[in-house]
Amino acid sequence: MKKIIVSVFLALAYMTSPAIAQEFTEKYRPQFHFTPKANWMNDPNGMVYHNGIYHLFYQYYPNDKIWGPMHWGHTTSKDLVSWTEQPIALYPDTLGYIFSGSAVVDKNNTAGFGKDALVAIFTHHDPVQEKQKTGKHETQSIAYSLDDGKTWTKYKGNPVLQNPGISDFRDPKVRWFEPQKKWMMTLATKDRITFYSSPDLKSWTRESDFGANEGGHGGVWECPDLFPIRHEGKDVWVLIVNINPGGPNKGSAGQYFLGDFDGKTFTPNSKETKWLDFGTDNYAAVTFANTGDRNILMGWMSNWQYANQVPTDPWRSANTIARDLGLKTVGKEIYLTSFPVKELDGLNGSGFSQKNVKVKNQLDLTGRANNKTGLFRLDFNAKNTADFAIVLANESGNELTVGYDKATNQFYIDRSKSGKIDFEKGFGEKHIAPRFATGTTIPLTLIADVASVELFADNGLTVMTDIFFPETPMSKLYIKSASGITVENLKYTVVKPSVR
Ligand code: FRU
């Protein structure tokens, strides 16, 4: 009972805390994806569910809209779709900038800060030492909050994990490992992952390394995550490793490994390099802590290849829609699936559905959709696989194409004619993704905001997230197929802007 009262109180406190008034009328401003009101944002950090509130912290530079000395910005939500920006949680200090990391709920008061304290575990990045090339400029530190994330106190004994001489030594993701009653830290250490354990979040012991000879190595390993998902009667451990550059369509991307974890060592069950998302705009994606059986993923909807140049003002970057993760066996392999959280349905507006639609050449949905803003969700099953494309277009002649190519058995997103592309030479390209599912019907969900599309094909077996910058809203919508397809269970839904 006491717990319920506390959570109701905290939920109310957050609701009534002065929400930062925002018009959100600026060009390219996403309407149902989180963006900071102003200035630079990158990775999601410290995502944790506590007392009825989802907390999202993020890499933030409050003085400019390019990357700079990193802080942890903070925003909260009750439903993962409507966010209220909160005051900055962590500021740089004498140990350095506040780089990426995670947060946990210390239910057993292992650290001694208080029962149920929120504890943030992050990287201190010291720019002075970086210049001196000591190779030891990144260390791990902690901070705690006893008022549900409103204010934070940095631990006096920081850093809690010194650097042994590895130039990239960062982005701790911590979780409780119940079988051995200890904390596990998954840390990105240049070209591999190092696991550490701790009884109290303050003293850490190295357990093992993973990955020097596994997966993609086209860039540095960053922002990892480790958690189990129950699949066919047993726990499969998922190890997410973000990598920059070296993604499947260039630049930044997230790969993952599946296997076993025994509190010391991660043992992969496959040699295949697997990707969370084949689009170019889902980086540093990790999961929320303390969400029970749900594993909820959210990423930074940009790419280091052009993040500092995207034509938005006065802010830069948005996050992806939150996604529930699952596992699916296809042949001998298991893959991760991601699908938009059901909470997104709370934004559903008007729409229409149709059972069986034959598409030969072109089906123009613009009139029925009657949607000037171009914020929508489209679900359908494409029967008897053949080439097809979904085209978003506008009055300015911009086009964004999301499609399936039967000959190569690939999905794609082509943003080469999608509007403003000239701010970076590699931006206006076509991105491709393999199809893993084998059925002749392709179920498909597409989520479109002002400046992004997120494709969930085959119930989330193949995912692509791409941003784009149309000159005017993408108010026109077509399904095209030269050879012809039958579209089953077509459902078009307007997505309303989220409340801020
Ligand atoms: C990933 C990353 C992290 C680092 C942070 C700095 O995008 O490079 O490795 O902690 O961004 O802002």
DSSP letters along 66-127, please? S--S-EEEEEEESSSSS-EEEEEEE--BTTBEEEEEEEEEETT-TTSS-TTEEEEEEEEE-H
Say how many C-beta atoms besides its own lie within 10 A of residue 272's C-beta.
Answer: 12
User: Cβ(126) to ligand 1 under 6 A?
Assistant: no
User: Cβ(99) to ligand 1 under 6 A?
Assistant: yes
Residue with tokens 């059901």: 342
Which of the listed residues 223, 305, 319 should we mutate to test ligand 1's pocket, taking the one with most ligand atoms within 8 A of CB? Answer: 223
For the stretch 58-87, what's the b/e string if a residue is b when 16 or more beta carbons lie within 10 angstroms of its beta carbon? bbbbeeebeeebbbbbbbbbebbbbbbbbe
Tell me, what's the pLDDT at 263?
Answer: 98
User: Cβ(189) to ligand 1 under 6 A?
Assistant: no
CATH of region 4-10+347-495, choose from 2.102.10.10, 3.40.50.1970, 2.60.120.560, 3.40.50.2300: 2.60.120.560
User: Cβ(290) to ligand 1 under 6 A?
Assistant: no
Bond before 228 cis per omega within 30 degrees: no
Q: How far apart are CA 243 and CA 240, in angstroms?
A: 10
> Strands, E, within 146-233: which ranges?
153-154, 169-177, 182-189, 192-198, 205-210, 220-231
Name the residue type at position 226: L
Of the candidates 123, 114, 76, 463, the one whose C-alpha atom is nearest the C-alpha of residue 288 is 76
Backbone angles phi, psi at 77, to 5 degrees: -150, 150
CATH fold label, 38-320: Tachylectin-2; Chain A (2.115.10)
User: Cβ(138) to ligand 1 under 6 A?
Assistant: no
How buried is residue 207: exposed, middle or buried, by Cβ count under 10 Å (0-12/13-18/19+)? middle
- The maximal CA–CA distance of the chain, rounded, in angstroms, is 68
Tell me, what's the pLDDT at 144?
Answer: 98
User: Cβ(202) to ligand 1 under 6 A?
Assistant: no
Atom of ligand 1 nearest to the CA of 67: 12
Tell me, what's the pLDDT at 238?
Answer: 98
Question: Is 43 one of the catalytic residues?
Answer: yes
Compute CA distances 242 → 44, 73, 275, 366, whole Å.
12, 21, 9, 38
Tell me, what's the pLDDT at 500?
Answer: 72
Of the candidates 396, 410, 370, the one whose C-alpha atom is nearest the C-alpha of residue 492 is 370
Tokens coding 366: 């613009």
Of the candidates 186, 189, 250, the one whose C-alpha atom is nearest the C-alpha of residue 218 is 250
Atom of ligand 1 nearest to the CA of 59: 12
Strands in 192-198's sheet, in edge-to-edge order, are 169-177, 182-189, 192-198, 205-210
- Local confidence pLDDT in tens for the 500 residues of the chain: 444 444 444 444 444 333 333 446 899 999 999 999 999 999 999 999 999 999 999 999 999 999 999 999 999 999 999 999 999 999 999 999 999 999 999 999 999 999 999 999 999 999 999 999 999 999 999 999 999 999 999 999 999 999 999 999 999 999 999 999 999 999 999 999 999 999 999 999 999 999 999 999 999 999 999 999 999 999 999 999 999 999 999 999 999 999 999 999 999 999 999 999 999 999 999 999 999 999 999 999 999 999 999 999 999 999 999 999 999 999 999 999 999 999 999 999 999 999 999 999 999 999 999 999 999 999 999 998 899 999 999 999 999 999 999 999 999 999 999 999 999 999 999 999 999 999 999 999 999 999 999 999 999 999 999 999 999 999 999 999 999 999 999 999 999 999 87
- The ranges assigned to domains in the chain are 4-10+347-495, 38-320
Tell me, what's the pLDDT at 12?
Answer: 46
4-10+347-495 and 38-320: identical CATH topology: no
- Going by the DSSP 8-state scheme, the letter that residue 289 receives in this structure is B
- Going by the DSSP 8-state scheme, the letter that residue 499 receives in this structure is P
Which of the listed residues 90, 138, 170, 317 should we mutate to test ligand 1's pocket, taking the one with most ligand atoms within 8 A of CB? Answer: 170
94's CB contacts (< 8 A; 6+ apart) are none
Tokens coding 152: 């934070």
Cross-strand pairs, 462: 457
Q: How far apart are CA 481 and CA 493, in angstroms?
A: 22
Q: How far is the CA of 70 from the centre of ligand 1 (A)?
A: 9
Which of the listed residues 45, 123, 222, 252 should we mutate to test ligand 1's pocket, taking the one with most ligand atoms within 8 A of CB? Answer: 222
